[in-house]
Amino acid sequence: MARTSGSHSEITGPRLRAAAQALFARHGYAAVSMRRIAAEVGVQAGALYNYIPDKQGLLFELMKSHLDELLAAWEALPKGTGARDALEAFTRFHVRFHLDRPDAVFIAYMELRNLEPANFRAIEALRRRYETVLEDILRQGAAEGAFDVADSKHAAFAVIAMLTGVTTWYRDEGRLSRAEVEDLYWSMVRKAVSA
């Protein structure tokens, strides 16, 4: 909806990020113009530069805030001590978190190649921290004899790829509830790493 001119600093910023996230997820960063984002927000393109340094900075901020939120949400989760419980917690957390943010997830996985080198390194470091969470769980479980995982690092990659794939097919209107989807993935993950 077009808006008349005036001061709207408190709402234009969030609206800009929301519009950019939705459009980047649907059409891709390179295919979306600043004019298109501005039209969605309801301002002219020039006004967006009161909130972002440039288009690249906008992409970086979206990806960084998503990964910061992902890591913070995991840290905040109450956890037990055993590796098996930790793996179940991680699996259900990952599925739930990603189903709640399909657009942010899509961008974080698809737009890495559109990041400038310094930004790419920063995002990759955050992603690596998250992968290490699962890697450590698998390594601990293998040491305890609860899991049969020869290569914790690559097993973690495989599990995360499997879990993240849920965003490509899950729809709220679909046949399965979120709880059923969690159960489905937990069943497969549990068995895949079992002794």
User: Which residues lie near its own copies (CB under 8 A)?
Assistant: 26-31, 110, 113-114, 148, 150-151, 154-155, 157-162, 164-166, 168-169, 176, 181, 184-185, 187-189, 191-194
Q: What angle do CA 62, 23, 59 make, to 5 degrees?
A: 25
Q: Which does 157 bind (CB under 5 to 8 A by kind): DNA, its own copies, none?
A: its own copies
Instruction: List, in order, residues 6 or more apart from 189 with CB less than 8 Å away.
Output: 87, 91, 159, 162, 163
Q: 86 or 156: whose CB is closer to its own copies?
A: 156
Q: Which does 36 bind (CB under 5 to 8 A by kind): its own copies, DNA, none?
A: DNA
Q: In the structure encoding, which two tokens stand for residue 139, read together?
A: 């390594």
Q: 19 or 189: whose CB is closer to its own copies?
A: 189
Length reported for the chain: 195
Q: 43 or 62: whose CB is closer to its own copies?
A: 62
CB 193 within 8 A of CB 155: yes
Which of the 8 DSSP states describes residue 82? Answer: S
In terms of Cα–Cα distance, which of 3, 18, 23 is closest to 66? 18
Q: Which does 9 bind (CB under 5 to 8 A by kind): DNA, its own copies, none?
A: DNA
Alpha carbons 151 and 155: distance in angstroms, whole number: 6
- In angstroms, what is the minimal distance from the CB of 180 to its own copies? 9
Q: Which does 164 bind (CB under 5 to 8 A by kind): its own copies, DNA, none?
A: its own copies
Binding site for DNA (CB under 7 A): 3, 5-9, 12, 32-36, 38, 42-47, 49-51, 54-56
Alpha carbons 72 and 86: distance in angstroms, whole number: 16
Q: Which does 82 bind (CB under 5 to 8 A by kind): its own copies, DNA, none?
A: none
